[in-house]
Amino acid sequence: MELDTTEIIGQSTSLKEVFRVLGKVAPTDSTVLVTGESGTGKELLVRALHRNSSRCDKPFVPINCGAIPKDLLESELFGHEKGAFTHALRMRPGRFELADGGTIFLDEIGEMELGLQVKILRVLQEKEIERVGGTGSKKVDVRVVAATNRDLEKEVEAGRFREDLFYRLNVIPLHLPPLRERGGDVAVLADYFMGSFCRKGGRKKISFSPEVKRALEFYAWPGNVRELENIMERLSILTEGNTASVEDLPRKILDNLAEMPLAAMAAASVASSTGAVADVSSLVTPSASLSDTAVPQSFVWPTLADLQKYQMNLRDFLDNMEERLLREALEVAGGVKNQAAEVLGIKRTTLIEKLKKRNME
């Protein structure tokens, strides 16, 4: 059967790899753990997983483990018997029972407390649940899919997540890379969202000036696809005329750019070699902190004066330089570590070590 990934927009190699695994795992009953930073599309992916499974015409039951008060979560998940606690006036089935035959989506599983984690492990192993205040257990046929934006391995190390549950959930890991590692997807998504917001708003589709395109490309997108979506909505409302220009962009994006002189320089050289607009300085606002160094006319080695200017010691300064180069290499390589290492002229293992140290993985 053809994999249906409509709604999940993007053509980057890293996203295609996610689709490849999705295609294999969707038809099975395996437990899947979806990880990725906030706003990378974890929920979208889990819904696609259910849609592409043999359980697709059975219930899909999401529950946000981080949003429900701790003392209520157990009865939400497993239900309760009449009289189980003060307000339990009648029996109520839990989400596992409601999901029978289908898929339960345990979102933000990293927020779940240890006591309840044991009970989830039990359901996964025994395939049966026990209602709060109940005496017997009940068989359920539920596929479990969990998601988190935490690093569960670290949570396990810190004693906040049960190791046994982690391994039981992590049978098939699906990792959604951050948007900044998806290369050209930023442009594809920006275009897609802009088109859809303009359609909804009943206006002609707004296009982007070349500077805006480059700004979007080099912004780090800490809020990932959700942030891009929100910014496109904002542009679709605030832009006068049919082309969005740099002035229409939120301050945050411009400031971020000013702090990426090397990447901006690379953009300029690529742009000029392809005959596109090369004036990156128009992107950088004069008041931004590092803007005066953003577009040096020729390369100048840093001096002690630079350390003083940025109030950094040698180590921080070098760390900073290194991080910029690492980010740029990853961007250029579209997130492919082998290629990024090659661009940097270091071993892949060295690169991975450096990324780990900075939590950039």
Ligand X SMILES: Nc1ncnc2c1ncn2[C@@H]1O[C@H](COP(=O)(O)OP(=O)(O)OP(=O)(O)O)[C@@H](O)[C@H]1O
Dihedral angle over CA of 353, 356, 358, 361, nearest 10: 120
- Which of Mg ion, ligand X, none has residue 40 at its interface (CB below 5 to 8 Å by kind)? ligand X
* Contact region with ligand X (CB under 6 A), list: 39-47, 86-94, 159-167, 272-280: 39-47
Binding characters for ligand X, 168-187, by CB under 6 A (x = yes): --------------------
Nearest-approach distance from CB 29 to ligand X, in angstroms: 23
Interface positions, 221-280, toward ligand X (CB under 6 A): 225-226, 229
3-state secondary structure 19-54: HHHHHHHCCCCCCEEEECCCCCCHHHHHHHHHHCCC
Out of 22, 36, 219, 333, name the contact with ligand X by CB under 6 A: 36
Out of 11, 28, 30, 38, name the contact with ligand X by CB under 6 A: 38
- Cβ-defined contacts of 243-252 (< 8 Å, 24+): 243/206, 243/207, 243/208, 243/209, 244/206, 244/207, 244/208, 244/209, 244/212, 245/209, 245/211, 245/212, 246/209, 246/211, 246/212, 246/215, 246/282, 246/283, 248/212, 249/212, 249/215
Determine if 37 is a binding residue for Mg ion (CB under 5 A).
Answer: no
- Closer to ligand X by Cβ: residue 44 or 325: 44
With beta carbons less than 8 A apart as the criterion, state whether 249 and 212 touch: yes
- Closer to Mg ion by Cβ: residue 229 or 331: 229
Q: What is the total count of residues that contact ligand X (CB under 6 A)?
A: 16
β-pair partners for 32 = 145, 172
Out of 44, 336, 346, 360, name the contact with ligand X by CB under 6 A: 44
Determine if 10 is a binding residue for ligand X (CB under 6 A).
Answer: yes
Sites of contact with ligand X (CB under 6 A): 8-10, 36, 38-44, 149, 189, 225-226, 229
